[in-house]
Amino acid sequence: MVRKLLAAGCVVIFVAVVATGCRAVSPPQVDAKVFLVRTSSQEIELVAVPRRVSAELPLAEAVLRELLKGPTAAERWQGLASLIPEGAALRSVAVTETGVARADFSEGLQQGIGGSMRVLGIRQQIEGTLMCISGITSVILSIEGQTEGVLQP
């Protein structure tokens, strides 16, 4: 009896999968921008690039996670890069009612960076990406919860 019920259940599931087209449902996404850079020996040019990010996360978190992924192969081919170290991880991000975005990163954000131009570029990438979100008016960066001395040349 149990085997007949299991077999009938499997047939029902099989028919349901076939009837719905057996396709994977992708999570909802929204359009956003992240800032990458094009560098020369004398300057850093910020370049906004379009991305599709998860609508299931708060937008500030989704764009920062996307920024940390760095440029796509096509973007690298166009000469775009990220100055953010690969070891950087987002710990948290929150936006206050007054529009202040507070983004906290792991210690990896400051690992192996040197030079005021690179430090400024990292800060600009993060701040530019967050400031594209409607309602964000300023950005406070922290590393492991500490704001003092973050990304200072």
Q: Which of the pair, 42 or 84, is modelled with greater confidence?
A: 84
Q: So where are the chain's domains?
A: 2-143
Q: Is the pLDDT of residue 131 over 80?
A: yes
Q: Is this prediction's pTM over 0.75?
A: yes
Q: Rounded to an integer, what distance in angstroms lies between the CA atom of residue 19 and that of residue 55?
A: 28
Helices 116-131, 59-68: axis angle to 10 degrees equals: 140
Q: Are 50 and 40 in contact (CB under 8 A)?
A: no
Question: pLDDT per residue over 63-74, tens digit each?
Answer: 999 999 999 999
Q: Rounded to an integer, what distance in angstroms lies between the CA atom of residue 92 and that of residue 106?
A: 9
Number of DSSP helices (H) and strands (E) in the chain, helices first: 4, 5
Question: pLDDT per residue over 15-51, tens digit each?
Answer: 443 444 545 677 798 899 999 999 877 788 999 999 9
Average pLDDT of the residues of the chain: 84
